[in-house]
């Protein structure tokens, strides 16, 4: 049995997926990138290989993607995040038409065509506004664990607005709202709404298809998903593990490269 790997090294997490020659996912790993993206890619690969119960020598080909894709030692080639997210999403949902990915440092909307081909895309990579880093900074300002932001937002009773696009100024707005006695729940909801508002513009630019899928770590925030769905006027689906879609796409590219 041959195996193929995809490694997605982003600014916040390094994700690796192992698939077999039948294109079945046999293992994956999600680790924090930390301050050494090269080591993070290696650690994610090693963890996924260990979970698959195979030897690294059994991995026939490796493709990298993500923010630090050129620093992945195991990769024979690299692919863009856009191409990998489209391919991974199409594999999981063959009728997907629009993919929304919010990563640690950027956000993007991708229009997907037949066979997972990228038809169009729009990307915000100029600042951290509306990204995972934005959410992380705001959670820290509220002194709330990042993974609990959506639960907190669900308790909101007053609609507040965070108008600043810049992460630094938005953080100042959060601090100001705290000093005015606004509840953490209402502020958390405002933060999630700001991310949804920022991202909806990208989606509008590429168009909303029948099946919309959201990937990336922020897709685990149910409040952001619900508010974004409301903003674009269309239901959004989230894969069982949204963080590995890019790495999955890279692994699929690896299997095709070998086949060619």
CA–CA dist 57, 55 (Å, integer): 5
Query: What's residue 260's pLDDT?
Result: 47
What confidence tier does 239 reach under pLDDT thresholds 50, 70, 90?
very high
Query: What's residue 130's pLDDT?
Result: 75
Which of these, 25, 27, 19, 16, lies nearest to 2 by C-alpha position?
19
What pLDDT digit, counting tens, does each position of 160-198 carry? 999 887 888 889 999 999 999 999 999 999 999 999 998
Which of these, 219, 148, 217, lies nearest to 184 by C-alpha position?
148
Query: What's residue 11's pLDDT?
Result: 86
189 contacts 156 by C-beta, under 8 angstroms: yes
Q: How many C-beta neighbours within 10 Å does residue 76 have?
A: 13
SS (H, E, C) 201-260: HHHHHHCCCCCEEEECHHHHCHHHHHHHHHHHCCCCECCCCHHHHHHHHHHHHHHHHHHC
Reading the block at residue 257, the tokens are: 């490269």
Handedness of CA 95, 99, 103, 106 (dihedral sign): positive
Query: What's residue 131's pLDDT?
Result: 83
Position with higher pLDDT, 220 vs 131: 220
If you average pLDDT over residues 43-59, what whole number do you get? 97
Q: How many C-beta neighbours within 10 Å does residue 20 have?
A: 18
Question: Could you give the percent of the chain with pLDDT greater than 90?
Answer: 85
Query: What's residue 232's pLDDT?
Result: 96
Which of these, 241, 216, 219, lies nearest to 228 by C-alpha position?
219
Query: What's residue 258's pLDDT?
Result: 58
If you average pLDDT over residues 148-165, what whole number do you get? 93
What pLDDT digit, counting tens, does each position of 244-258 carry? 999 999 999 999 975
Residue 121 has pLDDT above 70, yes or no: yes
What pLDDT digit, counting tens, does each position of 12-38 carry? 899 999 999 999 999 999 999 999 999
Residue 113 has pLDDT above 50, yes or no: yes
What confidence tier does 138 reach under pLDDT thresholds 50, 70, 90?
very high
Which of these, 37, 103, 21, 27, lies nearest to 75 by C-alpha position?
37
SS3 category, 22: coil
Average pLDDT across the chain, whole number: 93
């Amino acid at each position: 049995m041959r195996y193929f790997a995809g490694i997605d090294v982003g600014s916040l997490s390094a994700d690796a997926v192992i698939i077999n020659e039948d294109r079945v996912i046999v293992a994956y790993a999600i680790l924090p990138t930390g301050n050494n993206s090269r080591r993070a890619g290696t650690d994610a690969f090693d963890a996924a290989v260990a979970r698959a119960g195979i030897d690294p020598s059994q991995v026939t080909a490796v493709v990298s993607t993500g923010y630090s894709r050129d620093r992945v030692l195991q990769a024979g080639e690299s692919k863009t995040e856009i191409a990998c997210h489209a391919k991974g999403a199409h594999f999981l949902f063959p009728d997907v038409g629009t993919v929304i990915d919010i990563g640690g440092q950027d956000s993007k909307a991708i229009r997907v065509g037949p066979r997972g081909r990228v038809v169009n895309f729009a990307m915000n990579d100029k600042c951290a506004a509306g990204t995972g880093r934005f959410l992380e900074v705001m959670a820290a300002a509220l002194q709330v664990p990042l993974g609990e932001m959506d639960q907190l937002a669900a308790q909101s009773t007053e609609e507040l607005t965070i108008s600043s696009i810049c992460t630094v100024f938005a953080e100042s707005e959060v601090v100001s709202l705290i000093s005015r006695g606004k509840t953490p729940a209402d502020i958390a909801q405002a933060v999630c709404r700001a991310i949804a508002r920022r991202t909806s513009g990208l989606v509008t630019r590429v168009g909303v298809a029948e099946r919309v899928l959201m990937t990336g770590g922020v897709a685990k925030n149910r409040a952001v998903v619900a508010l974004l769905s409301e903003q674009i006027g269309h239901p959004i689906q989230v894969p069982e593990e949204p963080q590995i879609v890019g790495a999955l796409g890279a692994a699929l590219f690896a299997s095709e490269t070998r086949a060619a």
